[in-house]
Amino acid sequence: MMRLVVLISGHGSNLQAIIDACNQGLIKAQVVLVISNQADAYGLTRARQHKITCQVIDVAAGQNRHDYDCILAHHVAAANPDWIILAGFMRILSAEFIKRFPTKIVNLHPALPGTFAGTKAIKRALTAFAHQQISETGVMIHQVIDESVDLGPVLAQKKVAIYPSDTLRSLTKRMHQAEHGLIVSVLQQLEATPCLTPYCQSTTKAD
């Protein structure tokens, strides 16, 4: 059974999708630890409702990235994870963290490869659509191998259509639906083939 550590900063809907998939037997995995850098993240409530160990590791006053990531890595390592899932974790991991877990870190990002790296990716995609710069967006899951933002070998991606009637809320809802399915699919593939390779280049549009 795969041991998963999930890092979050907010609502935790992708964490919920992972928990549900574990409970339904869709993947042979267990979320053994959820860590948030935000004490008020609703994802922590989701985890506690399922009796999953949670930790809040926020940034202390004057604390630099190196020190924070060393502390974070210590707590993650103690959980002995097979995979570390970044599901809306709003921090850029430093080399100090990444080198502790080579090939074990995967990140979910609400954009297609090479587009809208960083924050507010869905809002930026909707603006680009309004300016006729793009006709669709999507989500991807990639391996984290260095400090680059939303870059790394792509494990899976899924295109999501944008419609003229879309609002930020409606597009965000479809994006989340695509994310939930994609993260479960990736975990199923990692269970079957426990190595990080670009195995699932899905281009199906979400409804």
What is the sign of the dihedral through the CA atoms of 185, 135, 9 and 143? positive
The DSSP element (H or E) to which 158 belongs, if any, is strand 154-161
Catalytic residue among 109, 142, 176, 180: 109
Q: Which residues pair with residue 156 across a beta bridge?
A: 141, 200
50 is catalytic: no
> If you write DSSP's letter for every residue of 78-141 in order, what string do you get?
HT--SEEEESS--SPPPHHHHTTSTT-EEEEESS-TTSS-SS-HHHHHHHHHHTTS-SEEEEEE
Q: Which residues are catalytic?
A: 109
